[in-house]
Structure 1
Amino acid sequence: MRMLMNVRIPHEPFNTYVRDGSIAELIPRVMASIKPEAAYFTEQAGGRGAVLIVNLEEPSQIPALAEPWFLLFNADCEFRVVMHAEDLQKAGLAGIGQQWK
């Protein structure tokens, strides 16, 4: 199942990692571990953030995706199921619409 993973990263300890140079090793390590389909780093509410697209075969994989962010960065993580347009086409919306007139 394709999930959008939204990560909000507080200033600390990230600022410390930037200052001491260890961030250059930490981010690639996390990315290699979680293997996102896509990753975008962005501002969120005035702070650092990341938006990742990850694939899950089962919900029990969520801790392996979130824990690196929790443990290394004290970050918050949110997960949302997402679809490609092709997935939406398979949803049968026309039939669902007829059912709920």
Structure 2
Amino acid sequence: MPSRIVSLMLQVAVWLVLPFAALQLGLVLTRAVAAPFVSALAIPTGVLSLVLIQITLVYAAAKGWHACRMPAHYRWLGLWLGCVLVLYAVPRFMPLAGSGL
């Protein structure tokens, strides 16, 4: 049971940021610009997903790391981290849409 709860919480955290990361990456690859509105929309859901990740990690530590099968869930943690890095790094390195650059 703890494994299912951890898996569900991690999946929800990933799905909170994945659409925004995919949209931002898609705009960069198709139009070569970062859209500031994507980051503005992703900030509240990103904060919520960060809180959910922290709760998940504390829950897994309290219940037992291996009892929650955390090594099997590392892919969800990695996907979440990759999405957050895309949302953070892409606007820093790409010109913003509408800035005329």
TM beyond 0.5: no
Identify which of structures 1 and 2 has the higher relative contact order when contacts are C-alpha pairs closer than 8 Å and 6+ apart.
2
Greater fraction of residues in strand: 1
TM-score (norm 2): 0.31
Greater fraction of residues in helix: 2
Larger C-alpha radius of gyration, 1 or 2? Answer: 1
TM-score (norm 1): 0.31
